[in-house]
Amino acid sequence: MVTTQPSSTNAWTDFLEHFRETLATASPRLRAISESQSVIPKAEGKWSSKEIVGHLIDSAANNHQRFVRAQFSDELVFAGYEPNEWIRVQHYMDEPWADLVQLWQLYNQHILHLMSFVPTETRTKLRSKHNLHQIASDTISENDAVTLDYFMRDYLDHMKKHLGQILA
């Protein structure tokens, strides 16, 4: 069973524009959050806005290298990471909110730039060997063939879910 059909050029262009709009819309809204508001957990035992943006920076760092490496491989098999541990050892709560927002924005602008140059054949190539069932945001079967296109779209979906936690 094929999980994802390769997207058309127009659908890809629309996706890239949607990513651009997400960054353009979220960035000023994040900057409008005060330093004191950014450290308040969203609920008991949940991350603060600082920690969520830190997690999104970690996601960008991990997925950036995955998106690059995927262009040199017939597989989509990548190392995972432990989000809570990454947040703990990086002490995001001790960084200025404005710096975290700026890093998140600039890193994602670079990822958007990278995505815009991935050749269509590379992006839409079906890959049977992957571990997206372990690392993707959306549930997927390890038996389904997937594309880098799917994984890149999943990245933006993941980001939007977390932005919604902050900006809701």
Is 46 part of a structural domain of the chain? Answer: yes
Nearest Cα residue to 104 out of 38, 41, 42, 151? 38
* Pure H helices in 32-142: 35-38, 49-69, 83-90, 97-116, 120-124, 132-135
Q: Which domain holds residue 65?
A: 9-167
Is 3 part of a structural domain of the chain? Answer: no
Is 109 part of a structural domain of the chain? Answer: yes
Is 118 part of a structural domain of the chain? Answer: yes
pLDDT at 7: 54
Give the count of alpha carbons within 13 A of 148, CB side only: 27
Is 4 part of a structural domain of the chain? Answer: no
* Residues in the chain with pLDDT values less than 70: 1-8
Residues in the chain: 168
- The answer to whether the beta carbons of residues 56 and 162 sit under 8 Å apart is yes
Alpha carbons 168 and 166: distance in angstroms, whole number: 6
The CATH code of the domain that includes 51 is 1.20.120.450
pLDDT at 3: 45
What are the structure tokens assigned to 118, written together? 């991935």
Domain count, the chain: 1
Is 58 part of a structural domain of the chain? Answer: yes
What are the structure tokens assigned to 151, written together? 């994984």
Alpha carbons 167 and 66: distance in angstroms, whole number: 28
Task: Label each residue of 94-108 as H, E or C.
Answer: HCCHHHHHHHHHHHH
Is 1 part of a structural domain of the chain? Answer: no
Predicted TM-score (pTM) of this structure: 0.93
Q: Using only the alpha carbons of the chain, give its radius of gyration.
A: 16
Per-residue pLDDT of 101-133, as tens digits, reads 999 999 999 999 999 999 999 999 999 999 999
Burial of 45 (0-12, 13-18, 19+ CB in 10 A): exposed
Is 38 part of a structural domain of the chain? Answer: yes
